[in-house]
Structure 1
């Protein structure tokens, strides 16, 4: 009986998490679309599990100047986008550390990620995927259980 209740509780939790995640993705899409209608958008992200995850959106004009900026920061799916003031009129590729004073460390890292992403795309490169915090944890556990220095041998023909 205990295991059946545990399975039901886990299933309900999974469904609720899925629904809240879906609502948050719709919220992101709404804000991204609003900015995209005005011009190009640079996105920066700083995922986290325990600390606040952070996402920034920069709407850029044809001179690569920031016209509008929004950010979402929080631990739960109830986080919402807010206006990010102080970077309007600055060129995306010329942002400096002095421009980030007054922002918290996680927001600064997301802004730096947006700048990096912008520079890579401008140079014609591809963006590397940032593993989710859960994947980082899984990878660490996998590394603990794999033997270092052991090479996998394939069959040779």
Structure 2
């Protein structure tokens, strides 16, 4: 009886490990695709609860702070995949902060991605001024 229980528990744990590995590979490949551009900025934001659904948003914007690509991954399982967010494409970063079609958790992830892009923009501006 205990042997069967341990075998089932170990099998489920190994399956979870394997599926998590595939999800991480998917995340890395999406980030690599989005960051494989000559110019612009990439930012990721996330919302994570201990239990329940989470959300990851990846934004790409040009030098004029206009969003050129946006993707979201949300869910509670390892089967969650990135989906395009066409509603955000074409918006300025500042405009996107005030969208009302996102639930709170996704809006928090969006804000995190915007903040990351702004930090990168400021860092790049500082580096350009220092090099000149």
- Please give the root-mean-square deviation of Cα atoms over the aligned residues, in Å: 2.0
Q: How far apart are the structure 2 equivalents of 1:21 and 1:68?
A: 25
TM-score by length of 1: 0.67
Q: Output the TM-score relative to the length of structure 2.
A: 0.79
Shift of 1:85: 2.1
Deviation at 1:18, TM superposition (A): 0.8
Name the SS for the 1:101 alignment partner.
coil
CA deviation profile, 1:13-43 (whole Å, cap 9, x unmatched)? 1110111011111111221111111343110
**CA distance in structure 1 between the aligned counterparts of 2:78 and 2:51, rounded to whole angstroms:** 13
Q: Which has the larger radius of gyration?
A: 1
- The residue that corresponds to 1:13 in the other structure is 12
Alpha-carbon separation, structure 1, partners of 2:117 and 2:95 = 11
Partner of 2:127: none
Whether the 8 Å contact between 1:49 and 1:75 is mirrored in structure 2 is no
Change (3 A) 1:23 1:96: closer
Q: 1:59-109: per-residue Cα shift (whole Å, max 9, x none)?
A: 1212232101000011111111111122223333x24643x2111221111
- The size of the alignment, in residue pairs, is 121
Corresponding residue for residue 35 of structure 1: 34
Gaps of 5+ in 2: 124-132
Name 1:115's counterpart in structure 2.
114
2:21 corresponding residue in structure 1: 22
Report how far residue 122 of structure 1 moved. Answer: 4.0
Choose between structure 1 and 2 for higher RCO, CA contacts under 8 A separated by at least 6 residues. 2
Q: 1:59/1:51 Cα in 2 relative to 1: closer, same or farther (>3 Å)? A: same
Residue 67 of structure 2 aligns with which residue?
A: 66
Map 1:26-105; keep pairs closer than 5 Å: 26-38=25-37, 39-92=40-93, 94-95=94-95, 97-98=97-98, 100-105=99-104
Residue 47 of structure 1, CA deviation: 1.7
